[in-house]
Structure 1
């Protein structure tokens, strides 16, 4: 059992597995394509910062907490990270985001056509990573079940992105809090839940345990998103203007939607006007933030994030089969979901 490995070492193992998948696929004629893949993943020599690799890390810790040595689960972890990143390439294009991880988004560097193709390549590489599980001795039926989970999760991601784009295109139509939870369930929680469930599926055949880990991942995914919603408005860098607030980006996150549903008529009109504005000044951001606080939107969002965090802890304990050190690290990640 390798529970003594640090989280950074688990991430390094995941990145090595990802590079193995890439190197197995590339050839001299298409080397530039795989350079684009590495650029987006932050695995090129010039990368200033890499992603947190949260999703594969959670899958490895789930596997380790049940079965020990994480190395057999690395192809599954690589598949999750590659799949997550295919969606990010496409999201950046669809949302016209020009930056990803503090440097130029791929599409701004290589153009939209090549970026779309790179996203497609990442999707295919993620499935190829899953095939390596067969080489490591996992039964075909288990690999097929994992592939089905992966496909269902990718479909949920696409559905969540559809809802996100649709609500942005229909900005004058009200978006309910209920619809928002549905959207983030598909777009955020589904992949985190699948990451953790895949680790459990590789580690055990006990459906009770697998289902508990899946529910744990779902609740954790919602908690993470709600925490991001809080940080996007009240985080230190957003409050000081060092980073653009979600309000400046016209994002209708949970605090905004809650306030629009619960504010008085004057505040509701004022907030809607600010959010719909072509550009938003710092004073308008402060005004919007004050409305959110008056309506209790920040308290509501924080309470919901804590509720889902507590639900995640309950489901993790309900699984009841965890190695102590791995379980401790999973709990640390849960607690970190609430930092705002």
Structure 2
């Protein structure tokens, strides 16, 4: 397992270093969008308010571009050569977020109104489409192999998202199906981020396969943590509505594990999930308690830890450069133990 190098920067330092590299290129790319879509994208990124005035709103964590840049370094390359890939991955991620908010009906993200509630549903969807298109435009200079990695990840992400929506309409979902959904919905893009970081600096062989495996395992661990926060996270910290996943009857990883437990709590939880009327505040709190008592919370927590160990084993197998490997290790721990 990779150990932490004494020269390693802290996670906030790594994320700040990463942002300093990729954000100017991101802003330049977004500036090429038509004005209508540029305005929505900039609002979504937290760069300005709905009127276009500069804003001090905190933007997202931007973990994925950091993974691209650190993977490039871990493979012995120059992270400056991976900036376009980092931007492309972050554009794809935010395309998915714009669409997610519409599909889930979420009204807040990053502690303010979601783009669709401000600009309308159709304009927000089109802005997301614009970000996806822009991602491939940005990545074009890195060649067809990079484009194929990203396009495969996008297709896996879309399939995972489609399965996630389909699960809401299904009476039951088994655990393997839910895991496959999460591997596409979240694991695919984190895997692509690490793979692209290696590819665009000329990396080959073990670096490509093992860093890709590192990202995919980390992505599934990320989804476990995200699903736990979707139930038990503090809205003041997460910036997301309380119990939104339960209100939307999401068959998230801890919920599916709870429903499959064949306990009395599982039966009661299934009854709440079958209700057609919106769940009351009391029913939502009860549903959260049932997921926990049926073992869903403990299972997801344990899986996140297991996947973290698997990710770090894959990282070690690449015999990576010491400092970026140590920083990838710190970032992996941060991702699986975060509170938002």
TM-score range, shorter chain: 0.7 to 0.9
Residue 63 (structure 2) pairs with residue 64 (structure 1):
no
Distance in 2 between the 1:307 and 1:233 partners?
21
Please say if residues 91 and 132 of structure 2, whose CA atoms lie closer than 8 Å, have aligned partners that are also in contact. Answer: yes
Of 253-262 and 293-302, deviating more is 293-302
Deviation at 1:195, TM superposition (A): 0.5
Distance in 1 between the 2:208 and 2:165 partners?
33
Residue 143 (structure 2) pairs with residue 148 (structure 1):
no
Please say if residues 18 and 65 of structure 2, whose CA atoms lie closer than 8 Å, have aligned partners that are also in contact. Answer: no
Residue 129 (structure 2) pairs with residue 112 (structure 1):
no
If the length of structure 1 is used for normalisation, what is the TM-score? 0.86
Distance in 1 between the 2:283 and 2:147 partners?
47
Equivalent residue for 2:3? none
Please say if residues 8 and 323 of structure 2, whose CA atoms lie closer than 8 Å, have aligned partners that are also in contact. Answer: yes
Question: 2:337 aligns to what SS in structure 1?
Answer: coil
Equivalent residue for 1:291? 290
CA 1:228/1:249 → structure 2, altered by over 3 Å: closer, same or farther?
A: same
For 2:42, which of 32, 38, 45 is the aligned residue? 38
Deviation at 1:325, TM superposition (A): 1.7
Distance in 2 between the 1:42 and 1:153 partners?
25
Equivalent residue for 1:174? 172
Please say if residues 224 and 304 of structure 2, whose CA atoms lie closer than 8 Å, have aligned partners that are also in contact. Answer: yes
Equivalent residue for 2:51? none
Query: Aligned Cα RMSD in Å?
Result: 2.4
For 2:322, which of 321, 324, 333 is the aligned residue? 324
Q: Which runs of 5+ in 1 are unaligned?
A: 134-142
Higher alpha-carbon Rg: 1
Please say if residues 249 and 273 of structure 2, whose CA atoms lie closer than 8 Å, have aligned partners that are also in contact. Answer: yes
Equivalent residue for 2:198? 200
For 2:83, which of 56, 74, 81 is the aligned residue? 74
Structure 1 residue runs of 4 or more that deviate by more than 4 Å after TM superposition: 2-5, 236-239
Please say if residues 265 and 293 of structure 2, whose CA atoms lie closer than 8 Å, have aligned partners that are also in contact. Answer: no
Aligned length in residues: 320
Equivalent residue for 2:22? 14
Question: 1:195 aligns to what SS in structure 2?
Answer: helix
Equivalent residue for 1:48? 57
Which deviations, in whole Å up to 9, do the C-alpha atoms of 1:9-53 show, x marking residues without a partner?
211221111112223x24xxx423312221122233225120111
Residue 227 (structure 2) pairs with residue 225 (structure 1):
no
Please say if residues 260 and 272 of structure 1, whose CA atoms lie closer than 8 Å, have aligned partners that are also in contact. Answer: yes
CA 1:203/1:283 → structure 2, altered by over 3 Å: closer, same or farther?
A: same
Distance in 1 between the 2:316 and 2:91 partners?
29
Q: Which runs of 5+ in 2 are unaligned?
A: 1-6, 49-53
Between 1 and 2, higher relative CO (CA 8 Å, sep ≥ 6) is seen in 2
For 2:184, which of 179, 183, 186 is the aligned residue? 186
Deviation at 1:227, TM superposition (A): 1.4
Which deviations, in whole Å up to 9, do the C-alpha atoms of 1:220-273 show, x marking residues without a partner?
00111111222233335599xx95123344322122111111132x43331112
